[in-house]
Amino acid sequence: MNVRERILKALELEQPDQVPSFFEGMMNIFWSKFLTTYEDEISENDILIGVFGDLTPYKYLKVDSVWLHQFPIKMSKLSIDFNKIDLSQYGIGNFSIDRWGLIHKITQVMGRPFGFYYTGYLDSEEKWKEWINAGYFEYEIDNEWIRKWEKLYKEVLNAGIMLIPVDTTWEKIREAMGMAKWAHFTRKNIDFIKLLLNKLYKIYEDAAKAVIDAGFDVITWADDAAYKERTMINPKQLEELIVPYYSRLNNICHEKGVLTFYHSDGYTEPFFNGLIKSGFNGVQSLEPAAGMDLKYLKEKYGNKICLIGNIDVSRLLSFGTKEEIIQEVKREIYYAAPGGGYIFGPCTDIIDSIQPENVKIMMNTFQKFNKYPINFKI
């Protein structure tokens, strides 16, 4: 089997010849450390660089699939004078605002500037109306993007890596108004929220069709909706408010043979019934530090949705010993792989605190034990 066949078979809850793997991505400092550490081991056959970017570390590690952080949408420039927006109201520090209305606080992370989401600027109906009139939901599909990726997707796939386009949807609205105002509007003026969601999902229905036209096989809809050990919103709200929109997107994809999986960090198990109902083929992250136990999830949901991820990055890959990493990789394959419907991978990006050696240990162990049938003991 090739990479494409393995990924699709796993997402269809079947058993391929071996467990496939998926990475969200790698943070910049880790990326630099990795290339420096293994520059003498990376062969010419491992180098995968083109107009699509540099995928060399993934090729070297034999990663099967990774996110493509691009989508075929060109949002209109807003007729808003951002210089007139007073960001000092958000406190002491350096703040910025983007075209979606998200406020970011700029700080230093390991010596580099980084913008953390702080809150939403569009915290009233008046502000929303102003920004909508200024072109907030106006867009066009990027046909040049489609033509480019019609060729590049197959090129990268033939090199052994499946690229999976990813974008957020309703998270944009929630973050644009802030969590408190999201809670307020969903209680007091649900029709206003639905108006915003209707406009937003029209964009993503067209975008999904464009991704399909470019020839991609899998799409991720990524909306963070959970904290550690609890959800951001009531699972009932997700089922009643969001699932109908997810269903529309997933139906568009499935009608053309394209599969989908959902991403959110945090404790997402309370959402699983809604995600399954909406037609997602898989669910990704499964963050163990948030209480997501892979063995339990496999037993309860393994015949309903493909499980993707679960290797801890914050402790295991950042500070774990070689033996701890080996044992956890074996444990996850042992419990989740039998019967198929499982894709191995870290629960989030490979973060900067991780040592390159630990990622190599993880992937070497994975490749040693990922062949079906799973017949080793732990």
- Tens of pLDDT, residue by residue over 158-197, are 999 999 999 999 999 999 999 999 999 999 999 999 999 9
Q: Hey, how many other C-beta atoms are within 10 angstroms of the C-beta on 378?
A: 11
Residue 129 falls within a domain, yes or no? Answer: no
Residue 376 falls within a domain, yes or no? Answer: no
Per-residue pLDDT, 49: 96
Per-residue pLDDT, 109: 74
Query: CA–CA separation, 116 vs 132, rounded Å?
Result: 25
Lowest mean pLDDT among 32-46, 69-83, 104-118, 327-341: 104-118
Per-residue pLDDT, 328: 99
pLDDT tens across 243-267, in order? 999 999 999 999 999 999 999 999 9
Per-residue pLDDT, 204: 99
DSSP string over 31-95? HHHHHHHHTTT--GGG--EETTEE-HHHHHHT--EEEE---SEEEPPP---GGGS-GGGG-SSEE
- The domain that holds 42 is classified in CATH as 3.20.20.210
Averaged confidence pLDDT in the chain: 97
Q: What integer is the mean pLDDT of 7-16?
A: 99
Range of the domain at 98: 77-121
> Measured at the alpha carbon of residue 98, what is the angle toward residues 97 and 103, in degrees to the nearest 5?
40
Per-residue pLDDT, 114: 84
Query: CA–CA separation, 67 vs 57, rounded Å?
Result: 14
Query: CA–CA separation, 336 vs 371, rounded Å?
Result: 13
Q: Has residue 219 got a pLDDT over 80?
A: yes
Q: State whether 46 and 35 are in the same domain.
A: yes
Q: State whether 282 and 184 are in the same domain.
A: yes
Q: State whether 13 and 104 are in the same domain.
A: no
Q: State whether 257 and 183 are in the same domain.
A: yes
Q: Which pLDDT band holds residue 111 (cuts at 50, 70, 90)? A: confident
Q: State whether 63 and 83 are in the same domain.
A: no
Amino acid letter for position 179:
M
Per-residue pLDDT, 322: 99
Helix 190-213 crosses helix 170-177 at what angle (to 10 degrees)? 140
Q: State whether 212 and 267 are in the same domain.
A: yes
Q: State whether 102 and 246 are in the same domain.
A: no
Per-residue pLDDT, 321: 98
Q: What integer is the mean pLDDT of 66-91?
A: 96
Q: What is this structure's pTM?
A: 0.97
Lowest mean pLDDT among 43-57, 101-115, 278-292, 336-350: 101-115
Q: State whether 106 and 152 are in the same domain.
A: no
pLDDT tens across 47-66, in order? 999 989 999 999 999 999 99
Q: Hey, how many other C-beta atoms are within 10 angstroms of the C-beta on 377?
A: 5
Per-residue pLDDT, 221: 99
Per-residue pLDDT, 119: 97
Q: Which pLDDT band holds residue 113 (cuts at 50, 70, 90)? A: confident
Per-residue pLDDT, 112: 76
pLDDT tens across 199-216, in order? 999 999 999 999 999 999
Provide the number of structural domains found in the chain: 2
Measuring CA to CA, which residue among 258, 172, 177 is closest to residue 219?
258
CB 228 within 8 A of CB 269: no
Q: State whether 67 and 89 are in the same domain.
A: no
Query: CA–CA separation, 228 vs 267, rounded Å?
Result: 6
Per-residue pLDDT, 70: 96
Residue 131 falls within a domain, yes or no? Answer: no
Per-residue pLDDT, 229: 87
